[in-house]
Structure 1
Amino acid sequence: MGRSLVLRDWVFVWFVAWLSAAPVRAVSTSYWKHTSEADFAAGKMDAVVASNLGDLKLSRAVRSVLEPDARVSAVHALAQTPDGVVYAATGPQGILLRIDGQNVTTAHNFGDNVNLFSLLVDRRGRLLVGTGGERGEVYRFDDPAAAPTRIFSADGVQFVWAMHRAEDETLYVATGPSGKLFAISPDGQVRLFYDSGENNLLCIAARDDVLYVGTDPNGLAIRINRKTGEVFVLYDAAESEISALALDENGNLLAATGQASPDEAVESAAMADQKGRPEVSAGGVPIQAAPPETPTPPQLPEPAPGEPRPIPKFSLFDDNTETVPAALPHTETAATAPARSAAAVAPAENGNAIYRIDPEGFVTEIYRGPVAIFSLLAQNGAVLAGTGSDGKLVQVDPAAEETLVLAKVDSRQILALLAGKDGAVYLGCSNRGDINVMTRGYAAEGTYTSPVLDAGQIARFGKIRLQGTLPEGTSAKISTRSGNASEPDSSGWSPWSPPVDVAQFVPITSPPARFFQYQLSMSTTDPAQSPVVGEVEVAYQLPNLPPNVSAVRIVAGDASSPDTRARHTISWEATDPNADTLVYSLQFRTAGGGEWITLKDKLTAEAWEWDTRTVADGRYELRVTASDALANPKGSGRSASRISDPVLVDNTPPAIGDAQVTIRDRDATIRLTVVDRTGTVARLEYTVDGNADWQAVLPSDTIADSPSEAYEFTLAGLSPGTHQVGVRAPDSAGNQAYAT
């Protein structure tokens, strides 16, 4: 369904352009419009994000708790013990970090060339660490202050990717590079529980007695009954690896893919088209559609109780006047390890996906994007996804069909997500190794700077139209700048205009120029609320530029008959930089000079058929003139012309004369001359006694290339009696002359 004004607090503002008395100017107004995720993604966002529904809002507040540490280039896993302490598994130097509030310390060093890939807190509050390197092992900390105890090591295991502790205290260990799942009983006995035949079991999730594992390189989501040992493939993804699994509150299994590609994906290619949004309950009062009856600004709309405050309809200045712009001038440890290192990983060509598999086994793709997905967290009906290679934390709300980048971190990949006991979400990152904490609320402030908008010529700017909502406790301001250099940081740009409160009609005070930028500054004093801008439209007006006639072509008619041969098709190509409607006129003159004679005017099509029999034979030039006069105020139209290459008009056949016949015995020699007044003689042919076969004859100089050609040919061995000889001579235009 389309975007509903009743369901959302959208405020529409229509842009009114300046109409001054500039001497040459197009009537129509042009617009730059930003209303989709892809539109906004072309700009620069600082603590601001854009959803797939085209909503621009503040991002969640994110702060880093880890100072740069040369020992840490990746944070692979996070876990929190009952006392609220968060632990971070890092690589490649085996550092286990301890985060207690703002304090980050080294809990243990497992040694160089060791990656800590997985963490688990068991029912007793003990921390378990899964490692990767020459051997993949599991260690348990019985006392945080003491050295850990190794509880698992097996031949052929190099990576412990994930762990799960069951209700009966059995520990399940997902490994690589041989894709084996091990079970460790409470008394420490280790047994091979399942051999998948895959290279790696990258992730594990569980509900009751059912285990779920995700594999590489065939991208399988596998269900295993740990009581009966029954194995069932729930889904075979098109991508090569299932990189993360999670279970939501409805019992659905969420499976994310992280297939890598050597090529960078083009993000805009995966940006969602505007398809409207589902019908969900939302507050807000739609703006009245009827325009005001007088120029006096109406009173600001009063929202109903509990509804967010809309963007005001007018930008109010102290003197209620507008500033008028001036008038316009003219590691991969083993070959079978998946790409989960600290190096940047580009997503697969078609991006990666999150699949929702319901308890009945039905699979729904709830997200696809040009990212590699490394971690999942189901929270409050939504799904958080840690991605690379741009460090975006994506929130997917299947019910609202909304995808939102909650935050973007400086690190390129978000490998791990943890829901803290205090409601914060911890992000384990790589490239560089970092730990970020995202609070529940929005960032206090953020800015969005548009891409450089190019009018193509010096333009005058009117007003900015804004659409969105301002909940209580939030605000937004806008400023603009313009310039004639493509790089906005050069000296050829005006300074940013003073920020003004957003309104439905915001006059642009930046001077006329070719290039333009706007900047939105958002802020909130209520962490639960954010300003929302759903559409920005900038109106600009170019000076009335002349049209351009880029080509004139003349094609002669079909030479098969005199009627079609004389009809020439004249066509042309013309454009107008202001997109004005053009009207054309055709004129002709004798090639080389003379007065122009109007052939046809008030043409709207870019082609016309010319019957050349209405003019004398000769060489002519044609002129096409394009005018935008009807699309502009009277007297301010512009025009442009283009002259064709000379064209030959020749509708008269050659003349055949000076015929002489010499008879000797049974031979007859015929001499004659063929003359064409306009073109050249093409050839001569004869036939005897009405025969259907015409015999070609060469001219005396053996080449037909002149207006006058002499011919001589002999008819040998004629039978006694009278004979009739017919000749025909076409010219270069196809006109034919006959004689007998």
Structure 2
Amino acid sequence: MTKSSITKTTALTLTLILIITSLAPAVTTKVTRHSDPSQLLKGETENVIINSQGRIQLARKYSTLELDDALENVWVINTIAEDSAGGVYLGTSPNGLIIKTHPDQQPQIIYPTADDARTDQPTDNDPQTTDAPQTPEDMFSNMHVFALAVDSSDNLIAALSGPEPKLLRFTDGKPETIYQPDQALYILDLALDPAGNIYLATGPEGKIIRLDADGSNPTTIYDAKDNNILSIVVGPDNFIYAGSDERGIVYKVNPDTKTASVLFDSEQAEITSLMFDDSGNLYAAATSAQAAANQEKFSAISAGMAPGKPESATDEQQPDDQTATDEQQPDDQTATDEQLTTPNQQTTSQEQQQAAQQQAQRGSMPKSAGRIYKIDPRGFVTTVFEEMAVFFTLENQDGNLLLGTGNKAELFSIDPATERKEVAYADETSSQLTSLKVSGDSVYIAAANPPQLIKLEKDFFTAGTYTSPLVDADQPARWGKLQAEAALPDATSIAMQARTGNVDDPDDPSFSPWTEKRNVAGPTDLVTPLGRFLQYKLQLTTNDPASTPTVREILIPSVVPNLAPMVNAVTVGQAKNKPHVLEITAAAKDENNDQLTYTYQFRKAGRTNWITFDEDQPKPKIEWNTNTVEDGRYEIRVTASDRKANTPTTALTGTRVSNTFVVDNTAPAIDSHKLTTDNTTATLALTVSDEYSLIGQLRYTVDSDNDFHGTLPNDLVYDTTSESFTITVPDLTPGPHVIAVELKDDLNNTAYRSFEVTIE
């Protein structure tokens, strides 16, 4: 059996051996998994990318092309075109320069030339003539080249905008003006149909103009309500599709009947770029510069993807005995890749739902954000990408959408079929990526502020590094076997390093040195000290520029040496509707997340010995029947133990003692009384006391009447453990009578006493 016939699966492990004097038996392990893009993006990348699925891969190689002094007077590269010989043309602002570069030639400004400048210079009879020499840049100040195209004869067509707009065709490298609009100041985009007819998107009057291939017979085929038509493309049906500013509308224009319909009205202000794919789907880049200026926070990459994935033909179930082929593999691996896996953990459906909800919340996008809309041939619209950025340009390379944005100069790659998104390139110097041109397997990228031309290759960098954010174990921890789930095609490898520290700052000098770099092909030992924080570093390498290793997940286990549980509070209170029963509640925490058991003890205040009345309880709350002890002042001690998660030699406990409380199950008593009569009135004077509790209530009844009469202490307030009362019973009939008294303390302990009296 060969490697090419099976999928080889191995477990990639990194054992972090800790430098400690003694190792205790294992306690509960905390496992941190890094696979979520929002988490991974907190780390640092060098020549690697992180996509919306949380995959870490080598980035595509890029280089900044040297244009010598051609960009000296350029602020922005607006557009790029390429001829069949590999010549690349750049349209720029603010001086209307057109620059040509070629891998085998020096870059040159092909327009305006000195001859073009002389053609337009003032004459001796012109009152504006000055003695100062004028350069081409002086003559073409405030001119802009927003659109370039190459026709079927490999001639460059260039649209100049500004005070004197014009359309140029370059034949044998020489420019010729083939059209000058009467009203439009700006030619913002242009497109050619299969017959060579030229379509111009113009402003500020929002007209779409058609020209014959030679620039003759200008015809306005649609006059839009919008000020500017920003983008234009010829569809496979030979209709013209155009995007506007201010209202963000996509028009569908019939060039023969000169009629138009609104294909889509977006929520954004501008449709900056339009593009068809091979299936006839139209993609529209809609953006809002104002939204980006407000700097609302959102990241399509960190938002990740919804749980699951789009179903495709490759997802169909294979017979059990069928060997998987490349077509059945995930999009970042093939059947011949070496596979590194991480172990599974139990995850409840509730945890999965919570993770999905967090993903959805993190992916919430303001309505004003930039979006790419897909409009299918039936006219149905779906959103395939959204980002809080200004969208400048959209291209298609091998089924992936490439989007140039600002103001962070990021190039996004979006696969509409798999929903995978990634930042394929980000420029640290410029602010905007204004134009893209796919050239075979490469992509030319125009940047602005400052201007530069970048070439993004298909090949991957040979090496790249990902440095993780700090992983926090909450306490100084032993770090277990770091494990990676990854695909390793032939000629690729992954190496790892790690370090630890006890401060939340990876730049702090107290962090341990990086461990020795080790290639990962099996169990690999790294040595790190005990530490609360761990940081790891992945180095991805390839000897095949067409292949990259792919890391799908990093699993980081940590074990905090066993710590004693902490009992933070013990409360004692009366159980509801249960006389003489107290409810005892403990609040405890274990840093190891060990399962705890509880032991409950009591003692009378002032004594030293504790009496255990309940133990090994799994819950931190019990009830205590106080009828089992005499009245008095007591304390409760609660002991929390982690013995169920540890060995007898490593188990630890934590204790806490309650505040002193009273057990009082005895009713108040009458200390003294005096009963007197006066004619038909009886008067009973009482002194009542309770050893521990406030006097709560005194009532009386006469001759066993069911109706008790309430009374108040002589000082009118129930506020002490001893109270005096005077009960007066008038209008008694001659003969014997019984006055019955009900005594209660504040805990409802109740006593009764009767007094006989005779009225003469």
**TM-score (normalizing by structure 2):** 0.79
Alignment of 1:546-561 (within 5 A): 546-558=564-576
**Matched-pair contact (CA < 8 Å) for 2:16–2:527:** no
Determine the structure 2 residue equivalent to 1:683.
697
Aligned residues of 2:14 and 2:526 also touching (Cα < 8 A) = no
List gaps (5 residues or longer) in structure 2. 113-136, 316-333, 343-364, 755-760
Q: Could you say which residue in structure 2 is the equivalent of 1:509?
A: 527
- Counterpart pick for 2:665 among 651, 672, 675: 651
Aligned to 1:460: 478
Q: Does 1:530 align with 2:558?
A: no
Give the residue type in structure 1 aligned to 2:303.
Answer: A
Match of 2:676 in 1: 662
Choose from 367, 380, 385 the match for 1:367: 385
Which residue number in structure 2 is paired with residue 197 of structure 1? 225
2:100 matched residue in structure 1: 98
Residues 250-281 of structure 1: CA deviation (Å, up to 9, x unaligned):
11111233233413424375122553575676
Would you say 1:430 and 2:459 are equivalent positions? Answer: no
Contact 1:130 1:136 in 2 (8 A): no
Cα offset, 1:144, TM superposition: 8.3
**Hey, what's the Cα distance between the residues in 1 that align with 2:145 and 2:340?**
53
Residues 418 and 691 of structure 1, relative CA distance in 2, 3 Å threshold? farther
What is the CA deviation profile of residues 569-624 of structure 1, one whole-angstrom value per residue up to 9, with x for unaligned ones?
22222221112111111112223553221121111112212222222222222222
Q: Does 1:78 align with 2:92?
A: no
Indicate conservation of the 8 Å contact 1:37/1:272, yes or no: no
Residue in 1 aligned with 2:271?
242
Q: 1:724 to 1:153 in 2, by over 3 A?
A: farther
Are positions 1:87 and 2:89 aligned together?
yes
Asked whether the 8 Å contact 1:87–1:96 carries over to 2, the reply is yes
2:437 aligned to which of 401, 418, 436 = 418
- Aligned ranges for residues 568-647 of structure 1 at < 5 Å? 568-647=582-661
Alignment check: 8 A CA contact 2:41 2:302 kept: no
Percent identical among aligned pairs is: 31
Letter in 2 for 1:215: S
Amino acid paired to 1:678: Y
* Distance in 2 of aligned mates of 1:9 and 1:174: 56
* Post-superposition offset of 1:377: 1.2
1:263 aligns with 2:263: no
Distance 1:589 1:214, change over 3 A: farther
Contact 1:265 1:348 in 2 (8 A): no
Q: Which amino acid aligns with 2:49?
A: V
By how many angstroms is 1:81 displaced?
A: 3.4
CA contact (8 A) 1:462 1:508 kept: no
Alignment of 1:190-229 (within 5 A): 190-198=218-226, 200-207=228-235, 208-229=237-258
Letter in 1 for 2:198: L
The CA distance in 1 between the partners of 2:221 and 2:706, in whole Å, is 97
Distance in 2 separating the partners of 1:47 and 1:393 = 14
CA contact (8 A) 1:223 1:233 kept: yes
CA shift digits 1:418-452 (9 cap, x unpaired): 012x5321112234432211112112221111112
Query: Deviation digits for residues 353-385 of structure 1, max 9, x if unmatched?
Result: 333222122334333455543322122222222
Q: What CA deviation, in whole Å up to 9, does each residue of 1:441-473 have, x standing for no partner?
A: 112221111112222222223332122232223
Corresponding residue for 1:40?
Answer: 40
Structure 2 partner of 1:344? none
Shift of 1:154: 5.9
Instruction: Quote the offset at 1:492 in angstroms.
Output: 0.9
Match of 1:118 in 2: 147
> Residues 643-670 of structure 1, C-alpha deviation per residue, up to 9 Å, x if partnerless?
2222322222222453323222343322
Equivalent-residue separation in structure 1 for 2:256 and 2:9 (angstroms):
54
3-state SS, counterpart of residue 474 of structure 2: strand
CA-CA distance at 1:65 after TM superposition = 1.6
Aligned pair count reads 674
Q: Alpha-carbon deviation of 1:708? A: 0.9
| 1:139/1:151 contact within 8 Å kept | yes
Which letter does structure 2 place at the counterpart of 1:397? Answer: D
Report the counterpart of residue 253 of structure 1 in structure 2: 282
CA positional deviation for 1:64: 1.3
Q: Shift in Å at residue 120 of structure 1?
A: 2.9
Offset of residue 125 of structure 1: 4.3
* Native 8 Å contact 2:207 2:220 kept in 1: yes
Distance 1:423 1:728, change over 3 A: same
How far apart are the structure 2 equivalents of 1:174 and 1:120? 13
Map 1:451-490; keep pairs closer than 5 Å.
451-490=469-508
Q: Could you tell me whether the CA contact under 8 Å between 2:298 and 2:387 is conserved in 1?
A: no
- Indicate yes or no: 2:688 matched with 1:674: yes
Residue 377 to residue 661, structure 1, CA distance change in 2 (3 Å): same
Q: CA RMSD in A?
A: 3.5
Classify 1:279/1:479 alpha carbon distance in 2 versus 1 (closer, same or farther; 3 Å). Answer: farther
In the aligned structure 1, how far is the partner of 2:540 from the partner of 2:531?
27
Superposed CA deviations along residues 102-151 of structure 1, whole A, max 9, x for unmatched, are 74444444755555433333445454445667x69444254687677484
Partner of 2:193: 166
Contact 1:582 1:627 in 2 (8 A): yes
Give 1:246 deviation, angstroms. 0.8
2:696 aligned counterpart, secondary structure: coil
Segment of structure 1 superposing worse, 188-197 or 355-364 = 188-197
Q: 2:568 aligned with 1:539, yes or no? A: no
Q: CA deviation at 1:507?
A: 1.9
Q: 1:402 aligns with which of 407, 420, 428?
A: 420
Q: Measured at CA, do residues 159 and 738 of structure 1 come closer, stay the same or move farther in structure 2, by a change above 3 Å?
A: farther
Moved more, 689-698 or 534-543: 689-698
Q: Distance in 2 between matches of 1:544 and 1:443?
A: 45
> Does structure 2 retain, via aligned residues, the 8 Å contact 1:152–1:190?
no
Cα distance between partner residues in 1 of 2:703 and 2:267:
81
Worse-matched range after superposition: 220-229 or 98-107: 98-107
CA distance in 2, matches of 1:136, 1:611: 99
Q: For the residues of structure 2 that align with 1:376 and 1:210, how far apart are their CA atoms?
A: 20
* Residue of structure 2 in register with 1:336 after alignment: none
Task: Tell me by how many angstroms 1:164 deviates.
Answer: 1.8
Q: Residue 61 of structure 1 corresponds to which residue in structure 2?
A: 61
The 2-side partners of 1:73 and 1:215 are apart by: 24
Q: What is the match of residue 353 of structure 2?
A: none
TM alignment of 1:262-341, pairs within 5 A: 262-267=294-299, 270-273=303-306, 275=308, 308-310=336-338
Residue of structure 2 aligned with 1:704, choices 718, 728, 739: 718
The 1-side partners of 2:735 and 2:181 are apart by: 121
For 1:151 and 1:687, locate their aligned partners in 2 and report how far apart those are by CA, in whole Å. 117
Q: Distance in 2 between matches of 1:636 and 1:11?
A: 35
Structure 1 193/51 Cα, relative in aligned 2: closer, same or farther at 3 Å? same
Distance 1:12 1:144 in 2: 62
Deviation at 1:169, TM superposition (A): 4.5
Q: Work out the CA distance in 2 between the residues paired with 1:193 and 1:455.
A: 67
1:565, CA displacement in angstroms?
2.9
The match for 1:287 is none
Cα deviation code 1:66-93 (max 9, x no counterpart): 5796754443321123443222233455
More deviation, 715-724/566-575: 715-724
CA distance in 2, matches of 1:667, 1:404: 99
- Please state how far the C-alpha of 1:549 moved relative to its aligned partner: 1.9
SS state at 2:627 partner: helix
Distance 1:692 1:511, change over 3 A: same
TM-score (norm 1): 0.81
C-alpha contact (below 8 Å) 2:340/2:487 kept by paired residues: no
